[in-house]
Amino acid sequence: MMKFLICGMGSIGQRHTRILKKLIGDEAEIAAYRSRKLDIVISDTLEAKQGVNPEEFYNIRSFTDFVAALEWKPDAVFVTNPISMHVSTAIAAARAGSHIFIEKPLAHSMDGVKELQEIVKEKKLVCMIGYQLRFHPAYKKIHSLIEKQILGDIVMADLHFGEWLPGMHPYEDYRDSHAARSDQGGGAILCLSHELDIAYWLFGQPKSIYAAGGHLSSLEMDVEDTADITLLCEGNSSSFPVHIHLDFLQKPAHRYIHIVGDKGKIHFDYYTNDLRISLLPEGKEEVVSYSDFRRNDMFEDELQSFIDSIKMGTPPPVPLEDGLAVLQVALNARASLTAE
């Protein structure tokens, strides 16, 4: 029997609860630590049932005291609360000897991160960051193509993600969400950092970072809603630019990755689920369709890998060190954004 503590029962906390029940079933004992105690159940498609108690709906126990929750001795703690609370929650869990799954991003600042690293290392804990795009079959295919140098030397990459913030969680006022609030670690760069993680996963730590943008719309928030980030990454023979656009403004949402090398190019549209590969000299386009892909597949594979890492004592596929590297990119982009 494995014991899991979910710290925060918003949409992602509830998704992880459902997946753990599916993956482990009766072999999982799940509890939630909840501070707000909202009676709302949120589905995979973000449809909300108001006035429904999550503990009763999922048949799990609940704690209102975090110390008591940790004294329950969970094998693993899921950190699914606001970004500004990630590191302090994870440190407490690590001190208690629990393995940790931290929803992206790792944090909103570097405060406490070194301490978390030291405890995780000392206690030999599994600590994984929730960048689930790495588990999408198209992104895994792209990663393999880059590793095998099928595109030759990379000369540029463009990653784009825009989604209208008020429509992301239609069951809540976007102005109250952590994404819109600086005191909870919000803003487009941190909240939409999946593209930063994919860029790091594919191309490594950049040599330099430049960003432009800010709060450019009429959305009521005190953080950036738009960011255009240029990374200079080290290639096999020369450096190349990686452009990342993030915004809270597009409806319908728009997401793609486009990579050009001196032997070909690839383009993946997240919403059509078509990966287009064109190699020189013929230039003939091959289209790989992922039309049967279900969004929840990523989360299920992600959590299965976390559970496997705990059981086998192996490093997770998205370790704490990767989360830290992406956080450093995000914070440097923010610093560039605000520099005059």
| Distance between CA atoms of residues 112 and 37, nearest Å | 27
Q: Is 206 contained in some domain?
A: yes
180, 157: one domain: yes
| Distance between CA atoms of residues 191 and 214, nearest Å | 14
Ramachandran angles phi, psi of 93, nearest 5°: -65, -40
The region, left, alpha or beta by phi > 0 then psi within -120 to 50, assigned to residue 46 is: left
The reply to whether the predicted model has a pTM over 0.85 is yes
Q: Are strands 274-279 and 264-269 parallel, antiparallel or unpaired?
A: antiparallel
Domain containing 57: what range? 2-132+299-317
| Distance between CA atoms of residues 227 and 310, nearest Å | 36
| Distance between CA atoms of residues 256 and 45, nearest Å | 21
67, 114: one domain: yes
Q: Is 221 a residue whose pLDDT tops 90?
A: yes
Predicted confidence at residue 310, as pLDDT, reads: 98
Cis geometry, peptide bond prior to residue 105 (ω within 30 degrees of 0): yes
Position 167, amino acid = G
The residues that bridge with 40 in the sheet, in sequence order, are 50
Number of domains in the chain: 2
332, 197: one domain: yes
In this prediction, what percent of the chain has a pLDDT beyond 70? Answer: 100
| Distance between CA atoms of residues 13 and 159, nearest Å | 27
**Please, which residues have CB within 8 angstroms of residue 158's CB and are 6 or more apart in sequence?**
242, 243, 244, 245, 256, 257, 258, 259
Q: Is 322 contained in some domain?
A: no
20, 121: one domain: yes
- The predicted-structure confidence for 239-297, as pLDDT tens digits, reads as follows 999 999 999 999 999 999 999 999 999 999 999 999 999 999 999 999 999 999 999 99
Predicted confidence at residue 37, as pLDDT, reads: 78
169, 230: one domain: yes
Residue 2: pLDDT band by 50, 70, 90 thresholds? very high
283, 174: one domain: yes
Predicted confidence at residue 226, as pLDDT, reads: 98
Higher pLDDT, 28 or 199: 199
Taking alpha carbons only, the member of 166, 184, 151, 314 closest to residue 249 is 166
3-state secondary structure of 220: coil
Q: Is 168 contained in some domain?
A: yes
**Please, which residues have CB within 8 angstroms of residue 183's CB and are 6 or more apart in sequence?**
84
183, 331: one domain: yes
- The predicted-structure confidence for 14-59, as pLDDT tens digits, reads as follows 999 999 999 998 888 999 999 877 899 999 998 999 999 999 999 9
- The predicted-structure confidence for 288-339, as pLDDT tens digits, reads as follows 999 999 999 999 999 999 999 999 999 999 999 999 999 999 999 999 998 7
Q: How many CA atoms lie within 13 A of 232 on its CB side?
A: 6
113, 169: one domain: no
- The predicted-structure confidence for 80-134, as pLDDT tens digits, reads as follows 999 999 999 999 999 999 999 999 999 999 999 999 999 999 999 999 999 999 9
Predicted confidence at residue 340, as pLDDT, reads: 55
Q: Which helix (H) or strand (E) holds 7?
A: strand 2-7
267, 308: one domain: no
CATH number at 109 reads 3.40.50.720
